[in-house]
Amino acid sequence: MQPTLFTWALVVFGIITLAPLVAAQMSILIRPESQKTRDLLIGKNEDWRDKTHFKMAVGAAWADWLFFVPIFAAGTVGMLLGQSWGYVLFGAAGACSLYINVLLWFTEKAYVYPSRGPLKYFTYYWGFFVYWGALALAYSIVRISGIAL
């Protein structure tokens, strides 16, 4: 199950999409109440909508660093080494990304869409996470099935 050009493209797309988010989430874990954290996660000079919004952001940061980042990293390494378990983990990371970001795509729209507009909203603000998750999951299933793309 050697990696293909499509494998590398998905890895690069995943890293480009996820790296800024992972960095922002590290900020909330280190300095949860700082203005820099707020600027990174909710926008310049904006504040948390309420305690639930803040707690959700902290919980998501912990969940991503304890669960998502390790399976994405291990899956990427395993996949690039041509191991079937790498494709399974990469697909699991895609499923996680797809699941949470479809949820956020709808629940955050009232707050993010008006301030960012359709192009940013359907690309970096939720869009790329949904697209990458769907592609990573589908690609992993196809590769595990024995089909090379």
The 10s digit of each residue's pLDDT in 28-43 is: 999 988 888 887 777 7
Q: What is the pTM of this model?
A: 0.87
**CB 78, CB 90: distance < 8 Å:** yes
56-102 pLDDT, tens digit per residue, is: 889 999 999 999 999 999 999 999 999 999 999 999 999 999 999 88
**Domain-wise residue ranges, the chain:** 5-144
Between CA 14 and CA 79 the distance in angstroms is 13
Residue the block writes with tokens 């590290």: 26
